[in-house]
A and B are shown apart, each in its own frame.
Chain A
Amino acid sequence: MAETSVTVKQEMPDEAETGSSSGSYVEKRILEICHQDAKGVSDSALQIHLPNVDVQEKVKAINSLLSKGQIDLVQGSNNQLLYKIKDTQKQVDLRGSDNQERLVYQIIKEAGNKGIWIRDIRRGCGLAPPPLNKILKKLENRKVIKAIKSVGDSKKKVYMLFELEPDRSVTGGAWYSDQDFDAEFVNVLNQTCFKFLQEKMEAASKLDVDPLLKLNRSYASPEEVWKYIQELGLLSNGVNLGVDDIETILNTLIYDGKVEMTVSVNKSEQKGRTKMFRAIQPLTEPAGIMRIPCGVCPVFDNCYEGGAVSPSTCIYMKEWMDY
């Protein structure tokens, strides 16, 4: 491990700098020391490891490494400055970039796959908007970072490293395609899941078994529903749905009042407990008020006997009576 990184390091100084051999040697040593302790090496520790190196030389080497972005200067726990090795893999992309670019890169990198808003970058680096925009564009062109539109706010762009997979909170998960909520997709899945559960219930109610078994037969686990959805081939457009996505859909069915959920203890599976879903019917028939025009009447509150809108002259009522 140490050796491989050493080889990389060997190449880099050769390319970047054709300085004195002693300087490159010290640099190499420092890198090696830093490699051994990933948490960072303090100045005094470095001194112990490099007993016969001149302080001037050491400072020069460290400065050179810092400017090349191979090590980092961080503040340790006891207010001590620590030299820390940087991930060299990604340094490759930053060849030839200046300090400002590196700073911006660093900020973006720290944001991880959640991304970071441009205003937060500006606050972090203290750059004025025009140069920052320039830097961001440059980095974007070099495919070091990418801009993603957040689902929460369509105008808000967030930046993150190019190779990262955006977080769910940014993309909105499986229900979003191109930052838009795919309501159609959700609807189709909602209906399909319900159809599956309903068929299951009907099949169970036709069985000639005792009531308890009948009830248990009508339940389905999210995995079963998930398999059914997979087999149907609804997800042709490369969408990858997990079982928890299906569970979210099943939850919406609960809120629709079409399905009920129970938790069952399942010994055969390792998880111990699984949620089970089952189709149900509403407890009552449609309410009486909804079967007459008054239930949905838009001018209900203006309706008085003898008024402009009155039950005697109501046209909705007339149409409904003759229907």
Chain B
Amino acid sequence: MSAAAIRLACHLIQEHFGEIVEKVCRFLLENGSSQLRVVVKRTNIQLSQVKKALCVLISHGIVAFESTKVGVVEYTANINHCLLLARYPRFIYSAKTLYGDAGELIVEELLRGGQMLMSMVVERVTERLRRAVEGSQKVEPSLARGKFIQLVEARFVQRVPDMPDPTKEEPSPSSDIPKDEAVLYKLPSFVHDIGTPRGKRKREDKDDEQGQKAKRSRTDSSGETEYYIDEDIFWQVNLDRFHQYLRDQEIVNAVSRSCDKLGSEIVRTMLRMSELTTDKLANATAPMSFHEILRALPGNLNLDRNSLEQYLKVLTEDQTRIVSKVAEAGGGMYIVGILFVDLKEGSVAVCLSCIQSVVQERFGSKSHRIFKLLVLKKYLEQRQIESFALIPAKEAKDLLYQMFAEGYISVQELSKAPDHAPSRTYYPFFINLRQVAQKQQDRCFKSLANLIARRKYEMNENKRLLEKAQRVEVIANSFRSSGADESHIAEIEEMITPSEQELLKLNKARMAKLETSELQLDEMMFTLENFLIYQQSSISADSKKAKGTTSNR
């Protein structure tokens, strides 16, 4: 948890939840777990307000609480969850591309509210949809409900896990234990009674659900009634699932660049086939057979058996090694390859490409060449670098040490003699990708915080003007709706002078640019984060393995 990360988190919290919540959260981030009383005292905020702020943070999964052994309740903020606030627009956008406007609104409402009842979400979404379509068309609540069910079935939305029993002392309310996982996505049975469109995913466990969940459906809501009793089930957005989706998207994009459109569609299909069965930290998807892939391919691709086979061959031979073959089972006349998508390899490749682009832009293409050379050949001395990269000695030295000074390249001291005398020591250069990724991540945090700070500053600078423009617009609108004269409206709109118009336009363009960049920056942060998670998981797996072998002895 770096200072830059905290700064960014505070910016984000302030934007989403306001000053007071930001102060409380900042205190928790900077001081670690604290009691309520301590928070109140040190932040100088009223008890009731701190309580409310903590409530907001808890419902968004940012703050967790647990009671210590002494019986005192302590609150802890999770910085990673704070930083996710920057990714909300992407979640919403993904929901839009997958499930249309209603899906977008559902996810937006859930993200904004943290934890919500299904009926509440459906009601609000229906309302908003009605308003958006200018009221003429009647939007059925069943539309939103159907989408909601689809989202749950695709595991984008999940139940809020039950609060841990204080007597049992479970670690944190948000940790989902695998055995409960299916429970998290169980829909109350009554929703199906209303004839809502059924999603295509996860059909199998609906039948047994009917019996189990019968007691949950207290009322049989018949027909199109607006209200059903679901007070006891709160829903939240399953962020892990969205992350999985975004990561898959990233890999698909990478494939489409290294292969072509059709190849990427095949990888997308493979990823979609396995998205519910694969663990979020798994290195690779579960293996799937050629026939399964063929069957699951969308019909509009017009791929026959032959060309699919060829495409898979191309994909497995690709340098990125994203798709691999694990086995060949002979079936009848043809060979069935069992394939899987290597998620770890995919994220490493994407992250590497991302870091390389940073090196390329920051230090130029010659340095990029040296960097890639080191990535490929692992350990090299300066002289070897010169001859491999065909860069004159003087220039190579310059570029190399520049990157070394900024921490992109590391040096490993290798001494021939135990005295480590410089004359008898090799100094090969290498790249510690994990370190570089972490450094980049930190830079991203700071940059994003900078962008947000700048955006706030710009907003503040033109605050009066913006407010004025807004007022004028409201007045003009109200005149228009009351059927006032056109000349009246024009008169009011003229209250903003041309120079002010100009400024407003400029301001709008600036905001748009800053916001786009924020999203792009977050995309990069996501890439790096993914990579680091995989690194972490492989390191812990290694250490576990090492521990296992030692204990075996």
Contact = CB atoms under 8 A, between A and B. Distances in A.
B523 A211 contact: no
Contact of A257 (B314, B372, B390): B372
SS class, residues of chain A in contact with chain B: helix
B258 A281 contact: yes
Nearest to B351: A284
Interface string A223-254: 00000000000000000000000001101101
A294 B453 contact: no
A287 B524 contact: yes
Contacts of A256: 365, 368-369, 372
A149 to B, nearest CB: 14
B373 interface: yes
Contacts of B457: 311-312
B376 A284 contact: no
B372 to A, nearest CB: 5
A186 B390 contact: yes
A310 B350 CA distance: 32
B451 A288 contact: no
Contacts of B317: 215, 262
A252 B523 CA distance: 30
A303 B357 CA distance: 23
B392 A288 contact: no
Tell me the interface secondary structure of chain B in the complex.
helix
B372 A312 contact: no
Contact of A288 (B258, B506, B517): B517
A223 B516 CA distance: 47
A299 B44 CA distance: 36
B391 A183 contact: yes
Interface residues of B, number: 65
A212 B447 contact: no
B443 interface: yes
Given A252-B369, A286-B361, A294 B443 contact: yes
A211 B311 contact: yes
Contacts of B254: 283-284
Name the residue in A183, A280, A294, A303 with the highest tally of chain B Cβ atoms < 10 Å from its Cβ.
A294
Given A210-B307, A211-B263, A287 B453 contact: no
A125 interface: no
Interface string A244-284: 00001101101111001010000000000000000011111
Contacts of A287: 354-355, 357-358, 361, 524
B350 A183 contact: no
B239 interface: no
B390 A291 contact: no
Given A255-B369, A321-B514, A284 B362 contact: no
B402 interface: no
A178 B521 CA distance: 48
Given A284-B354, A317-B454, A289 B368 contact: no
A291 B457 CA distance: 20
- Ranked 4 nearest A-B pairs via Cβ: A288-B520, A288-B524, A294-B447, A311-B450
Interface of A: 175, 181, 183, 186, 190, 205, 210-212, 215, 248-249, 251-252, 254-257, 260, 262, 280-292, 294-296, 300, 303, 305, 310-312, 314, 317, 320-322
Interface of B: 253-254, 257-258, 260, 262-263, 306-307, 310-311, 313-314, 317, 319-320, 349-350, 353-358, 361-362, 365, 368-370, 372-373, 376, 388-393, 395, 440, 443-444, 446-447, 449-451, 453-454, 457, 506, 509-510, 513-514, 517, 519-525, 527
